Chain A
Amino acid sequence: MIDITNRNLKKTDVIFGECGHKDSGKLPILETIIKKEADEIIDEIIESGLKGRGGAGFPTGLKWKFCSMNPVSEKYVVCNADEGEPGTFKDRDILLKVPEKVFAGMAICGHVIGAKEGYLYLRGEYLFMVPKLNAILTWFNAKIKDLGYDFAISIRRGSGAYVCGEETALIESMEGKRGESRNKPPYPVAEGFRNKPTVINNVETFVDVAMIQKYGVECFKKLGTQDSRGSKVFSISGDTLKPGVYELEMGMKLSDFVDEFGDGDTKAVQVGGASGFCVPRKHFAETIIGFEGIPTGGSMMLFNSSRSMYNVLLNYLEFFADESCGQCTPCRVGCQQLVKGIEAVKSGKKDADYLNVLLKLTDAMKTTSKCGLGQSVANPCSSIIGNFVEEMIY
């Protein structure tokens, strides 16, 4: 592992390491946890301040509380390992290095909400992991059975569809259908998999829960800021000399991040993947990475001054046009028109004013699209066009 030199950045080991403790991550915690009351665990997670690590940042303790309060007896736990956001690969490393922590988090969730089955929804691109994960699951499921606890985890696989990372599309896919997002509400905690109450969390979120239970709320809470507690696993790529997966304290300044990971010529950082925001150099110092600033599911793509931001935006828009599920018109047609639109401006077929028309279109998509895919196309568009307008034209 490459070391961090910037003093304002703090490398942490909540997810991959022992959180400052010596014993291995192999989880003797389940014995104690299943004796604990569900409410106590929920209170601790709420107290820790943990927010979902998949991007949207919903408070995890509250989500579990809503699901646990639901009187329906059949419930499900789902781990979202779809990881389709461009520039994200941290769940890959978590599943390769500490899968037992992920499964422990899911088992804790099962205990809290009263579910008997958990599913790991694994993206098709990570099929190569299945044999290893299944072997660990055989061991893990036997272990929880030995503890007298009625819960088992199995794997459901995706087959290449970014939108299936959206929680309701993921459920449709698990039910054997096209991965088309559902209307919300009802939220999955009320009507999820098989229309039963379901908790869906990101891979990293489940590990955080397991670590909070193992090492205590304080251990987690002392990291990060008021709005962004704990650590975060980042996927760092692009124009950097040390691409890879890094676990850092939440709430860092983007300027410190660039100082550490940039190649000395960083022009912009795309925070949060294609659906996230582009931050230009002039805003590095005032940008906080966290829920109080720009949140990210972990994707951090660095671009130096040799890169064309037009190419970056075009690549993102083609991605959205490919991956739109096509259910609602603003997103289906909007994504295609945006690709055509920026190409027309670049080639001179349309004048620069046309970019404003395109930005209005993304605003309309934000308010009228059914799911987060169509809604978030405005993020890269407004931030890249807004900050690099000359590159869009010339």
Chain B
Amino acid sequence: MTEEFLFVKKLVDKHGTHREVLMPILQTVIEEKRFLSEVMMNEIALQLDISPAQVYGTATFYTFLDVENRGKYVIRICKSIIAEMKGKKEIQKALENRLKIKMGETTPDNMFTLLETNDIGWSDEEPSMLINEMPYTNLTPEKVISIINELQQN
């Protein structure tokens, strides 16, 4: 029995196999594994008795349901016009320099992935970003570096 089989089995035991549970299952995989591997999506299709195309089709529709490898910490910088006005570029530069990766990339140790995303609901406290599900707001270049330092010590 593969790890993926057991992982999905546990979720199916909890949620059932109705089509409606697909989203909660995909979301749980993201929370715990950070991305949906092909093996995982096939396993979900098998156990929900739907086609892998339906699983893949649903997953790729949603920004947060990543189907490519992601690090332990997925950083999503807000790119709204307000964020841009309040210094999004400087935040992006600080993160790129600190992590030595470009937007869209993952660090070689698989710790951090750097992405952009649309408005995350903090236009009153831009610049902002999400790290996994946690929002960080009123960012400055110094602040993001200390956030990264702290996460690296965990």
Contacts and interface: CB of A to CB of B under 8 A. Distances in A.
Interface of A: 83-89, 92, 123-128, 156-162, 173-180, 235-239, 243-245, 299, 301, 307, 311-312, 315-316, 319, 322-323, 325
Given A86-B119, A127-B133, A245 B23 contact: no
Nearest to A243: B124
Interface stretch (B62-70, B90-98, B140-148): B62-70
Contacts of B19: 175-177
12 contacts: A83-B121, A86-B81, A86-B82, A86-B118, A89-B121, A157-B23, A159-B62, A175-B20, A176-B18, A176-B19, A177-B58, A315-B79
A180 B82 CA distance: 28
A322 B121 CA distance: 17
Contacts, number: 117
Contacts of B26: 159
B45 interface: no
B58 A301 contact: no
Nearest to A319: B118
A72 to B, nearest CB: 19
B124 A239 contact: no
- Most A CB atoms within 10 A — which of B24, B26, B123? B123
A245 B20 contact: no
A86 B133 contact: no
A237 B117 CA distance: 18
B135 interface: yes
Q: How big is the B interface, by class?
A: 35 or more
A238 B85 contact: yes
B126 A237 contact: yes
Contacts of B57: 178
B122 interface: yes
B21 A89 contact: no
A52 B82 CA distance: 26
B12 interface: no
A319 B118 CA distance: 7
Contacts of B118: 84, 86, 160, 162, 319, 322-323
A87 B63 contact: no
Given A162-B118, A176-B23, A239-B85, A86 B58 contact: no
A236 B81 contact: no
Contacts of A85: 119
Nearest to B124: A243
B125 to A, nearest CB: 8
Contacts of A311: 81, 84
B123 to A, nearest CB: 4
A161 B64 CA distance: 9
B124 A89 contact: yes
Given A173-B23, A178-B61, 20 more contacts: A84-B119, A86-B123, A87-B80, A87-B119, A88-B123, A123-B121, A159-B62, A159-B64, A161-B61, A162-B118, A176-B21, A176-B58, A179-B62, A235-B123, A235-B124, A237-B126, A299-B123, A301-B123, A315-B79, A323-B118
Contact of B130 (A125, A162, A178, A243): A125
Contacts of B21: 176
B121 A156 contact: no
A237 B82 contact: yes
B84 A89 contact: no
Nearest to B116: A322
A344 B103 CA distance: 25
A279 to B, nearest CB: 16
B20 A237 contact: no
Interface in B103-154: 117-126, 130, 133-135
Interface in B1-40: 18-24, 26-27, 30
A289 B71 CA distance: 45
A128 B119 contact: no
B58 A178 contact: yes
